[in-house]
Amino acid sequence: MQLQTIPIKGMVCKRCLLTVENELLALGHTSVKATLGEVSYMAGENNDLAVIEERLSRLGFSLLEDKKAKMTNEVIRLIEEVYSGDYDFPHRFRFSELVKQRLQKDYDAISDAFIATEKKTIEQYIINYRITKVKELLVYSNLTLADIAFKLNFHSVAHLSTQFKQQTGLTASFFKEIKRQKEETAAASNPSYPSVS
- Residue 85's domain spans which residues? 68-181
Taking only the tens place, the pLDDT of each residue in 89-117 is 888 899 999 999 999 999 999 999 999 88
Highest mean pLDDT among 47-56, 139-148, 178-187: 139-148
**100 and 172, same structural domain?**
yes
**9 and 47, same structural domain?**
yes
The predicted pLDDT at position 194 comes to 61
Taking only the tens place, the pLDDT of each residue in 31-88 is 899 988 889 898 877 777 888 889 999 999 988 777 888 888 899 999 999 998 889 9
Q: Per-residue confidence at 195, pLDDT binned at 50, 70, 90?
A: low
Could you tell me if residue 188 is inside a domain? no
**116 and 37, same structural domain?**
no
Average pLDDT over residues 167-194: 82
Could you tell me if residue 24 is inside a domain? yes
Q: Which of 45, 64, 83 delimits the end of a domain?
A: 64
Q: Per-residue confidence at 145, pLDDT binned at 50, 70, 90?
A: very high
Whole-angstrom Cα distance, residue 67 to residue 16? Answer: 24
Contact indicator for 122, 133 with CB cutoff of 8 Å: no
**98 and 31, same structural domain?**
no
**97 and 170, same structural domain?**
yes
**99 and 38, same structural domain?**
no
The predicted pLDDT at position 1 comes to 59
Q: Per-residue confidence at 164, pLDDT binned at 50, 70, 90?
A: very high
Query: Taking the complete model, does pTM exceed 0.85, yes or no?
Result: no
CATH of the domain at 7: 3.30.70.100
Q: Which of 35, 64, 93 delimits the end of a domain?
A: 64
Domain count for the chain, please give it.
2
**55 and 102, same structural domain?**
no
